[in-house]
Amino acid sequence: MLQIEDLWVEVQGREILKGINLRIGPGETHCLFGKNGSGKTTLLVTLMGFSGYKVKHGRILFKGEDITHLPINERAKLGLGLSFQRPPTLRGVKLKNLLALYSKESDAGSELALAYNFEDFLGRQVNLGFSGGEIKKSELLQLLAQSPDLSLLDEPESGVDIENLDVICAMIRKLLQKELRKHRQKSGLIITHTGLILNYVNADRGHVMLNGQIYCHGNPRDIFERIKNYGYEECAKCRLFEQGFKI
Amino acid sequence: MNYSENYYDTNDLSDEDLLETFTPASEVEGPKDIGEFEEEELERLKQTGIDLTTPDRTGTFIQTNSSVQKCDCESPGVELLPITEALKKYDGLKDYWWKLVSAEKDTFTREADQELDNGYFIRALPGEKVIYPLQTCLYMRNENIAQRVHNIVIAEEGSELHIITGCSTHPHLKSGLHIGISEFYVKKGAKLTFTMIHNWGENVYVRPRTGIRVEEDGVFLSNYISLKGVKSVQTFPTATLAGPNALARFNSVIVAPEGSDIDTGAKVILKAPGSRSEIISRTISFGGRVVARGHLVGLAANIKAHLECQGLILAEHGVIHAIPELEAHVADVDMSHEAAVGRIAQEEIEYLMARGLDEEEATSTIVRGFLDVRINGLPPELNKELQEVVEECHKGM
Q: How far is CA B293 from the centre of its chain?
A: 14
Please tell me the least confidently modeled range out of A39-43, A127-131, A180-184.
A180-184
* Contact yes or no for B371 and A72 at CB 8 A: no
Minimum Cα–Cα distance from A50: chain B residue: B350
Q: Are residues B64 and B97 in the same domain?
A: yes
Which among A50, A75, A90 has CB closest to B348?
A90
Q: Which of B32, B35, B39 is nearest to B64 (CA)?
A: B32
Cβ of B339 under 8 Å from any chain A Cβ?
no
* Contact yes or no for B369 and A77 at CB 8 A: no
Q: Are residues B201 and B138 in the same domain?
A: yes
Q: How far apart are CA B232 and CA B234, in angstroms?
A: 7
Asked if the model's pLDDT at residue A106 lies above 70, the reply is: no
Of the three residues B299, B315, B344, the one that is the final residue of a domain is: B344
Q: Are residues B333 and B366 in the same domain?
A: no
* DSSP secondary structure code for residue B132 in this structure: S
* Contact yes or no for B374 and A92 at CB 8 A: yes
Q: Are residues B251 and B387 in the same domain?
A: no
Q: Minimal Cα–Cα distance from A69 to chain B, Å?
A: 14
Which among B350, B357, B370 has CB closest to A92?
B370
CB-side neighbour CA atoms (13 Å) of B194: 26
SS3 of B51, please? coil
Task: Show residues of chain B in contact with A147, CB under 8 Å.
Answer: none
Q: Which of B335, B334, B343 is nearest to B314 (CA)?
A: B343
Task: Show residues of chain A in contact with B350, CB under 8 Å.
Answer: 50-51, 72
Cβ of B373 under 8 Å from any chain A Cβ?
yes
Q: Are residues B44 and B177 in the same domain?
A: yes
Cβ of A101 under 8 Å from any chain B Cβ?
yes
Q: Chain B neighbours among A 12-31 (CB < 8 Å)?
A: none
| Number of domains observed in the structure of chain B | 2
| Beta pairing partners, A236 | none
Tell me the count of A-B CB pairs closer than 8 A: 69
* Contact yes or no for B369 and A71 at CB 8 A: no
Of the three residues B304, B328, B344, the one that is the final residue of a domain is: B344
Q: How far apart are CA B36 and CA B34, in angstroms?
A: 5
Asked if the model's pLDDT at residue A222 lies above 70, the reply is: yes
Q: Are residues B397 and B296 in the same domain?
A: no
* Contact yes or no for B351 and A73 at CB 8 A: no
Total residue count of chain A as it appears in this document: 247
B92, B84 contact by CB (below 8 A):
no
Cβ of B371 under 8 Å from any chain A Cβ?
yes
**Which band of pLDDT confidence, cut at 50, 70 and 90, is reported for residue A9?**
very high
Q: Are residues B237 and B267 in the same domain?
A: yes
Q: Minimal Cα–Cα distance from A199 to chain B, Å?
A: 28
ipTM here: 0.93
Q: Are residues B380 and B392 in the same domain?
A: yes
Q: Minimal Cα–Cα distance from A90 to chain B, Å?
A: 7
**Which band of pLDDT confidence, cut at 50, 70 and 90, is reported for residue A245?**
very low
Task: Show residues of chain B in contact with A48, CB under 8 Å.
Answer: 354
Q: Which of A152, A158, A163 is nearest to A197 (CA)?
A: A158
SS3 of B289, please? strand
Cβ of B360 under 8 Å from any chain A Cβ?
no
Q: Minimal Cα–Cα distance from A229 to chain B, Å?
A: 37
Q: Are residues B69 and B54 in the same domain?
A: yes
Q: Are residues B374 and B267 in the same domain?
A: no
Q: Chain B neighbours among A 105-134 (CB < 8 Å)?
A: 125
Domain that holds residue B350: 345-397
How distant, in Å, are the alpha carbons of A26, A116, A141, A180, B1 from that of A188? 9, 20, 15, 14, 63
> At A165, phi and psi to the nearest 5?
-60, -40
| Beta pairing partners, A94 | A125
pTM above 0.90, yes or no: no
* Contact yes or no for B355 and A77 at CB 8 A: no
Q: What is the pLDDT of residue B317?
A: 86
Q: Tens-digit pLDDT profile for chain B (397 aa)? A: 333 333 444 556 789 888 999 999 999 888 888 889 999 999 888 888 888 888 888 999 999 999 999 999 989 999 999 999 999 999 999 999 999 999 999 999 999 999 999 999 999 999 999 988 999 999 999 999 999 999 999 999 999 999 999 999 999 999 999 999 999 999 999 999 999 989 999 999 999 999 999 999 999 999 998 888 899 999 999 999 999 999 999 999 898 989 999 999 999 999 999 999 999 999 989 899 999 999 999 999 999 999 999 998 888 889 999 999 999 999 999 999 999 998 888 999 999 999 999 988 898 888 888 877 655 545 555 566 566 655 555 544 4
B168-207 burial, b at 16+ Cβ within 10 Å, e below that, comes to: bbbeebebbbbbbbbbbbbbbbbbbbbbbbbbbbbbbbbb
Q: What is the pLDDT of residue A197?
A: 85
* Contact yes or no for B353 and A71 at CB 8 A: yes
Of the three residues B344, B368, B389, the one that is the final residue of a domain is: B344
Q: Are residues B225 and B371 in the same domain?
A: no
Which among B358, B359, B366 has CB closest to A90?
B366
Q: What is the pLDDT of residue B390?
A: 58
Minimum Cα–Cα distance from B348: chain A residue: A88
Task: Show residues of chain A in contact with B345, CB under 8 Å.
Answer: 88
- What chain A holds in terms of domains, given with CATH numbers, is 2-242 (3.40.50.300)
Q: Are residues B136 and B273 in the same domain?
A: yes
